[in-house]
Amino acid sequence: MTTVAFIGLGIMGAPMARNLLTFGHRVIAVNRSPGKIDAFVAAGGQGATTVSEAVAQADVVFTMLPDSPDVEAVALGPEGVFAHARPGTLLVDGSTISPQTARHIAAVGAAHGTRVVDAPVSGGEQGAIEGSLSVMAGGEASDFEAARPFLEVVGSTVVHVGPPGAGQTVKAANQLIVAGIIELVSEALVFLDKHDVDLMSAVRVLAGGLAGNRVLDRKAESMVAHRFEPGFRIDLHHKDLGIVLEAARESGSVIPLGSLVAQLMASARERDHGSLDHSALLLGVENLSGHVIAR
What is the domain-level CATH number for residue 114? 3.40.50.720
**Does some domain include residue 139?**
yes
Q: Where are the alpha helices (DSSP H) in the chain?
A: 13-23, 34-42, 51-55, 68-76, 81-84, 99-111, 124-130, 141-154, 166-194, 199-207, 214-224, 234-251, 256-268, 281-289
- As a whole-number percent, the residues of the chain with pLDDT over 90 amount to 97
In this structure, of 33-37, 236-240, 252-256, the range with the lowest mean pLDDT score is 33-37
**Does some domain include residue 181?**
yes
Domain boundary among 141, 162, 183: 162
What is the domain-level CATH number for residue 188? 1.10.1040.10
Asked if 8 contacts 37 with a C-beta cutoff of 8 angstroms, the reply is no
**Does some domain include residue 294?**
no
| 285 and 194 share one domain | yes
Residue 188: pLDDT over 80: yes
| 39 and 115 share one domain | yes
Residue 294: pLDDT over 90: no
Q: Residue 151 contacts by C-beta under 8 Å, 6 or more apart in sequence?
A: 92, 119, 135, 137, 158
| 145 and 197 share one domain | no
Coil/strand/helix, residue 262? helix
Residue 283: pLDDT over 80: yes
Tell me the residue type at 135: V
What is the distance between the alpha carbons of residues 116 and 52, in angstroms, rounded to a whole number?
Answer: 17
pTM of the model: 0.92
Count of structural domains within the chain? 2
| 157 and 173 share one domain | no
| 148 and 194 share one domain | no
What positions carry a catalytic annotation?
A: 171
Q: Residue 32 has what DSSP assignment?
A: S
Sign of CA pseudo-dihedral 8, 11, 13, 19: positive
Q: What is the pLDDT of residues 138-171, one digit of tens each?
A: 999 999 999 999 999 999 999 999 999 999 999 9
| 157 and 272 share one domain | no
Domain boundary among 162, 191, 207: 162
Q: Residue 161 has what DSSP assignment?
A: E
Q: How far is residue 27 CA from its own chain's centroid?
A: 20
Domain boundary among 108, 130, 162: 162
- Domain assignment of residue 235, given as a range: 169-289
| 154 and 220 share one domain | no
**Does some domain include residue 295?**
no
Of 141, 151, 72, 146, whose CA–CA distance to 109 is shortest?
72
C-alpha triplet 38, 43, 48: angle, nearest 5°: 45
* For residues 121-148, average pLDDT: 96
Residue 289: pLDDT over 80: yes
| 195 and 73 share one domain | no
**pLDDT band at 193; cut points 50, 70, 90:** very high
| 21 and 116 share one domain | yes
Asked if 262 contacts 242 with a C-beta cutoff of 8 angstroms, the reply is yes
